A and B are shown apart, each in its own frame.
Chain A
């Protein structure tokens, strides 16, 4: 089942180059014909602190992190503050070696840098006994020494790659190619020497293990990128040329990518004083005729509440992205969670009228960001893309052709000057921007843009009449409220007809279901495959449309199963609550498997969770929570 796969974990301190090394490793494996998927874990610190990345590689497509890992490259934390002392957080320098080494699979390889980590210290952490018990192959190597011989200490990671290649019997060709592509001059030469020396040294050790790195090939050109890349590229391809933001993890990633690229696409990026301003700027740019976005993470998004409500009331299109991290408050800044769903759905005063999409993977990040822009500008409504630190940071390969799409810069329901001349005007001279009953019979009243002749109107957060003047007339109030809210029904119909964002997996006639939203989808799908192999009858539904909710699709699916387990990364079952609220029933059919310890689910955890829920047993694992269906 998962035997023929490599899950290579590189662990070190923040600043040790773990991220870039893992990216190179993943890319090289992709070049060699494999499919790759990365899982990133890092502390909220600039220098030091245990950081690791897992690169999972298989010949078949990979859509999730795996269960544990079978190869650990432990560089040690060279930025540890008190390397030799027992610190408050444990022995920091050693942490990349011993912290959760329990997850190293039986028969796995553990390669560590004895150039940095003292063998005596390593003895103290009980490695020897653990290795014996689990049949691990422990390989100490002086990676630091090899690095220093040819270059600088930081090249320990290149040495680690060379040694990994030798132990796993992977060709160094692709790594060489990468080094040549990314570096030049002395730097390139030194790294190549380090790579080769480490390879030679490790080959001589003749490590005897059972890990088989699969071989594969791609039938079309692949690209490797992150969810943040895909969201940014979706925005650019949909004509977004304005972004405003304030840094906050993990949202910063999208903001950075957009800021780096927008000027070369003729666009504008603005880093501003706070998130209230960030959202307000996006509104201002959109009001003036430009497709605009902003975004943040939990706390910053909270500051955007009021501009978000203003966008709803003035029917000014904007796209916001919300990159979730573990809350409440500052929470765990670099850890993933899916606990901002209710925040994003309901924040800001009054009845909310917004669109919320939760893409489940990199592919969907691209397509659903494009959908968000199309819907926002066609229907004059704020659209939010909600994702989490997991999708933001994970890399995955997919065919380049997925991005071979035509751009669409259509600003949506905006009139040209000629059209404004023929459109309705009030006797005050104002253009009728907010008609109770738009001429085409829809609920969208087309807008004008400042600077257009005879298009002037007042946009206001107060309730307003068709020309925008403040009005508290009850009949006008009802007409405007209904029109604004009815847009959501139109959007639902549009999505049902044009672009289903929901993903179905597993046998259609299965007895049981697993319902999932956002980033846990791939992991759930892998678990469903295993459960079926184990003899269970299970299927899954991944939901992306949080608002307007896909009532028909989910009802139909829930009707087709006896029971459903809802899997999400939060403590209060927010998506299950939403589903129950939207559908008005099924509370007695849905139980929850929840995880909120800062780490995303592993497929085996979902398998266990499902099996114990079916058997009515207590969950064995303490890192998850099971909440039974109502009445159970």
Chain B
């Protein structure tokens, strides 16, 4: 019997279950795109049939990091840039958990960039949502890794000399098996993409455009947007790596030309998740490790019986 009865509990899930009984006052500004992520995430949960006690939401630091203050599930608000390594170990410890990680563009593409690359490379079965507002919000408007070249801020008074990071292309190269871009102003698409990402068996990366009305005033609210799956202009095969790469390049470039392209960019269903790979080579138990600690009948082997012979 499982020690975790919330996992795979058979029942109808209501979206409101994910709203805390007493909701802390949001720290986000009026009109902030982060509200859109919260709403879409809550809406996606009944669709994927997950309840609050089987979802573990790991966040980084920044405005986006507050997501699990307003989302009723198990939450771990970690440190700047490090949500992914904490999250992926929880998934290894208990693969039956629904693991979601979230953070901002500074968090995931800047300080935590190394983890973003390696977590994608390993293809952990989890969902990663990057709140991309092209700015550092919580520290009051500094240039971020996705700010356009020439972006002026208090820390870049002459405009940034750096080209922005290409998050979609980077994730494709790193090894993510589901890559999409959506926007806070497009709640239906966002909800669908989050639901698909959660159901995807592998590392799903969502670059979520979240407008910052306070510190990025001149930037667009990401309207109008085009859904590349709905548009005749972009006829590409989302499972073809080369075509996906080309689509991503266009999406990244056109954002800085004022055209907002969104939708599924790459989906690969064949590649096994990291947990499966590890089980296949005998480096991960079949049963979730976390269960063993609650199982009174579990047998715990000791080194005296197994390893000491070699030292005699």
A interface residues, Cβ below 8 angstroms from B: 221-225, 229, 233, 236-237, 239, 241-242, 244, 261, 263-270, 272-274, 276-278, 280-285, 287-292, 306-307, 309-310, 314, 400, 403-407, 409, 411, 414, 416-417, 426-430, 449-462, 468-470
Provide the bound-state CA to CA distance between A417 and B86, in Å: 23
Q: Is the CB of A239 within 8 A of B293?
A: yes
Q: Which residue of A lies closest to B61 (CB)?
A: A461
Q: Is B226 an interface residue (CB 8 A)?
A: no
Known interface pairs A229-B311, A288-B94, A403-B304; A314-B76 also in contact (CB < 8 Å): yes
- The answer on a CB contact under 8 Å between B97 and A404 is no
Q: Judging by beta carbons under 8 Å apart, are A453 and B5 in contact?
A: yes
Given the complex, which residues of B lie within 8 Å of A267, measured CB to CB? 285, 289
Contact of A429 among B56, B72, B88, B303 (CB under 8 A): B72
- Taking CB atoms, residues of chain B closer than 8 Å to A426 are 21-22
Contacts of B97 in A (CB 8 A): 288, 450-451
Which residues on A sit within 8 Å (CB–CB) of B58?
Answer: 284
Contact call A285/B304, Cβ cutoff below 8 A = no
CA distance A269 to B278 in the complex (A): 10
**19 contacting pairs across A/B (C-beta < 8 A):** A221-B312, A233-B307, A236-B303, A239-B300, A241-B289, A263-B282, A268-B278, A273-B118, A276-B115, A280-B79, A284-B87, A284-B88, A284-B93, A289-B290, A451-B6, A451-B97, A453-B5, A454-B53, A458-B77
Q: Which residues of A contact B284 (CB under 8 A)?
A: 263, 268
Q: State whether A452 and B3 are in contact (beta carbons under 8 Å apart), knowing that A409-B298, A409-B300 are contacts in the complex.
A: yes
- Against A, the Cβ 8 Å flags (1 = close, 0 = not) of B1-40 are 0011111010000000000111110000000000000000
Q: How far is the CA of A306 from the CA of B58 in the complex (A)?
A: 16
Q: CA of A411 to CA of B293 in the docked complex: distance in angstroms?
A: 6
Determine how close the nearest CB of chain B comes to the CB of A400; give it in whole angstroms: 6
In the complex, the answer to whether B86 meets A283 with C-beta atoms within 8 Å is: yes
B89 and A261 contacting across the interface, CB-CB below 8 Å: no
Beta-carbon contacts under 8 Å, B71-106 to A: 72-79, 82, 85-90, 92-94, 96-97
Indicate if the CB atoms of A289 and B21 lie closer than 8 Å.
Answer: no
Is residue B302 contacting chain A, with contact meaning CB distance below 8 A? yes
B75 to A, closest residue via Cβ: A458
Among B79, B86, B298, residue most surrounded by chain A Cβ atoms (within 10 Å):
B86
Contact A288 B89, beta carbon cutoff 8 Å: yes
A460 to B24, CA, bound (A): 15
Nearest B-chain residue to A471, judged by Cβ: B24
Decide if B218 is an interface residue (CB 8 Å cutoff).
no
Residues on the A chain within 8 Å of B94, using CB:
288-290, 450-451
Q: Which of B260-312 contact A (CB under 8 A)?
A: 278, 282-285, 289-290, 292-294, 298, 300-304, 306-308, 311-312
Q: Bound complex: CA of A310 vs CA of B85, how far in Å?
A: 13
Whether B214 sits at the interface, judged by CB under 8 Å, is no
Q: Is B68 an interface residue (CB 8 A)?
A: yes
Q: Is the CB of B302 within 8 A of A459?
A: no
Nearest-Cβ distance from residue B157 to partner chain A, whole angstroms: 29
Closest CB in chain A relative to B53 CB, distance in Å: 5
A455 near B53: Cβ-Cβ < 8 Å: yes
Pick the residue among A266, A281, A403, A416 that contacts B88 (CB under 8 A). A281
**What CA separation (Å) do A417 and B74 show in the bound complex?**
14
Q: Give the residue name and chain of the A residue nearest to B303 (CB).
A: A233
Closest 10 CB pairs of A and B: A284-B89, A451-B4, A280-B85, A460-B77, A288-B93, A289-B290, A281-B89, A284-B86, A277-B85, A223-B311
Residues of B50-80 whose CB lies within 8 A of A = 52-54, 56, 58, 61, 66, 68-69, 72-79
Tell whether, in the assembled complex, residue B93 and residue A290 are in contact, meaning their CB atoms are under 8 Å apart.
yes
A459 engages B300 (CB within 8 Å): no
Q: Is B163 an interface residue (CB 8 A)?
A: no
How distant is the Cα of A376 from the Cα of B52 in the complex, in angstroms?
28
- Choice from A282, A310, A427, A453 contacting B79 with Cβ under 8 Å: A310
The answer to whether B89 and A282 have CB atoms under 8 Å apart is: yes
**Taking A268-B92, A284-B89 as contacts, is the C-beta distance between A223 and B82 under 8 angstroms?**
no
B173 at the interface (CB under 8 A from A): no
Chain B residues with CB under 8 A of A314? 76
Cβ of B188 < 8 Å from any Cβ of A? no
Q: How far is the CB of B290 from chain A (nearest CB, A)?
A: 4
Given A242-B93, A281-B88, A290:B72 Cβ within 8 A: no
- Shortest CB-to-CB span from A403 to chain B, Å, is 5
Q: Which residues of A contact B114 (CB under 8 A)?
A: 273-274, 277
Interface bin, chain B:
35 or more
Q: How far does the alpha carbon of A57 sit from the alpha carbon of B6 in the complex, in Å? A: 60
- Which listed residue, A276, A406, A411, A458, touches B82 by the CB 8 Å rule? A276
- Known: A239-B300, A284-B88, A411-B293. Contact between A264 and B306, CB under 8 A? yes
If A417-B4, A455-B74, A462-B77 are given as contacts, then 17 extra A-B residue pairs at C-beta distance below 8 Å, sorted by A number, are A221-B312, A222-B312, A233-B307, A236-B303, A237-B302, A270-B92, A280-B82, A281-B85, A282-B89, A284-B86, A285-B289, A287-B86, A288-B56, A409-B293, A411-B293, A450-B53, A457-B74
Digit string of B202-217 for contact with A (CB within 8 Å is 1, else 0)? 0000000000000000
Q: Are A450 and B294 in contact (CB under 8 A)?
A: no
Of all chain A residues, the one with the shortest Cβ separation from B294 is A416
Docked pose: A427 CA to B21 CA in angstroms = 6
**Which of B23, B77, B92, B293 meets A461, CB within 8 Å?**
B77
User: Contact partner of A450 among B5, B24, B74, B308, CB < 8 A?
Assistant: B74
**Least CB separation from A233: chain B residue:** B303
Nearest-neighbor residue (CB-CB) of B312 within chain A:
A223
Distance to closest chain B CB from A29 (angstroms): 14
Determine which residue in A233, A268, A458 has the highest number of CB atoms from chain B within 10 A of its CB, and name it: A458
Q: Answer whether A261 and B302 are a contact pair too, CB < 8 Å, given A426-B22, A453-B6, A462-B77.
A: no
Q: What residues of B have a CB within 8 angstroms of the CB of A450 in the complex?
A: 4, 53-54, 56, 74, 90, 94, 97
List chain B residues, Cβ under 8 A from A309.
Answer: 79
Cα A144 to Cα B93 in complex, Å, equals 52
CB distance from A136 to the nearest CB of B (A): 35
Chain B residues lying within 8 Å of A233, measured Cβ to Cβ, are: 303, 307-308
**A272 contact set on B, CB distance < 8 A:** 85, 118
Report yes or no: A289 in contact with B20, Cβ–Cβ below 8 A: no
Instruction: Tell me, in angstroms, the Cα distance from A451 to B95 when the chains sit together.
Output: 11
C-alpha gap A309/B78 in the complex (Å): 11
In angstroms, Cα B73 to Cα A49, docked, is 57
Q: Are A427 and B22 in contact (CB under 8 A)?
A: yes
Write the chain B residue with the least CB distance to A244: B89
A-side contacts of B24, CB under 8 Å: 469-470
Distance, CA A306 to CA B289, complexed state (A): 26
CB pair B289–A266 under 8 Å, yes or no, is yes
Interface centre among B54, B283, B312 (most CB of A within 10 A): B312
Looking at A223, A269, A309, the one whose CB has the most chain B CB atoms below 10 A away is: A223
Cα distance A283–B53 in the bound complex, in angstroms: 19
Note all chain A residues with C-beta closer than 8 A to B78.
Answer: 280, 283, 310, 461
Let me know if B85 and A400 touch, CB within 8 A: no
A278 / chain B contacts, CB cutoff of 8 Å: 85
Please give me the residue from chain A that is nearest to B89 by CB atom.
Answer: A284
Tell me the bound Cα distance from A277 to B86 in angstroms.
8
Nearest CB of A to B15, in Å: 15
For A310, what are the chain B residues with a Cβ–Cβ distance below 8 Å?
Answer: 78-79
**Is the Cβ of B86 less than 8 Å from the Cβ of A280?**
yes
Chain B residues lying within 8 Å of A307, measured Cβ to Cβ, are 79, 82
